[in-house]
Amino acid sequence: MAEDPLVIQQLRMLSLWLREDDSEILRKEAASTMVKVILGLYGMAEELRSPLLILLEQCKWVPDALNDIRGSSGWKAMVSDLDSIVRSRAPDKHVIQDGVVIIDILGPLASSSILRDVDNSVWIEFARIAVQLDTEGSAAHLDLKCSTTMLAIDLLRLVNPRTLTGATNRLKKRLLAVPSRLMTAGDRMNEDTLEDLDGYLQG
């Protein structure tokens, strides 16, 4: 099914419809019925990634959708894709856009209560990506690397310091040093991203 051109086309049409429609009721209904199905399909075929991400993006603020994302392995698949995208040498603009949407989907996790009092796996996954980032790439690619780092730091702020082990404390120190490293490529970044990154250094 994941490789059926008709299925792929229908998913693309559905994703565009939800993106263009402003109805909150429609998004809530879509979230309640579709998110688990979308998460089940995610990762089955690369051709499905973009339309599925767009669908999830439209549902991200619905509480049940966030719970479904956190409670499934779907977020891990998205983090794995993000890891590949930010570490790729020369991703095209469509691939970078997939990375941007992944950040948009997972970002609300850092501003919700869903991650509180749970294990540290989410922030650790993001921290491991961020600490390996270099300063190579286009402006759009660098912006994505910065967004990944800032989300990793936001997720870290949800973690109870008493739950950090020696290894995670070392990871925390490496993560908090990343914004300074990325700032060295500031002349190639979007101004808004550079300003946000500077805020993380000041804060």
**Angle at the Cα of 74 (from 26 to 175), degrees rounded to 5?**
115
Tens digits of residue pLDDT in 119-165: 678 788 889 999 999 999 899 999 999 999 999 998 888 888 888 88
* Burial tier of 113 (Cβ tally within 10 Å: 0-12, 13-18, 19+): exposed
5-19, 22-36, 143-157: which range is least confident on average? 5-19
- Reported as a pLDDT band with limits 50, 70 and 90, residue 39 is confident
Give residue 55's identity as a one-letter amino acid code. Answer: L
Cβ-proximal residues to 194 (8 Å cutoff; 6+ apart), any chain: 183, 186
Q: What tens digit of pLDDT does each residue of 44-91 get?
A: 777 778 888 887 887 776 667 777 777 776 778 888 899 999 999 889
Alpha helices in the chain (DSSP H): 5-20, 24-41, 46-59, 63-71, 74-87, 93-110, 121-130, 139-156, 166-176, 178-183, 191-202
The pair of structure tokens assigned to 4 is 């059926």
Top-confidence range, 4-18, 29-43, 67-81:
67-81
Residue 18 is predicted with a pLDDT of: 59
Name the pLDDT band for 166 (thresholds 50, 70, 90): very high
Please give the Cα distance from 202 to 166 (Å, whole number).
26
pTM for the full model? 0.81
Q: Which pLDDT score is estimated for 6?
A: 60
**pLDDT more than 70, % of the chain:** 75
Burial 167-179 (b: 16+ CB within 10 A, else e): ebeebbeebbebb
Distance, in Å, from the CA atom of 104 to the CA atom of 25, rounded to the nearest integer, reads 20
User: For residue 96, what pLDDT is reported?
Assistant: 94
Amino acid letter at 45? Answer: A
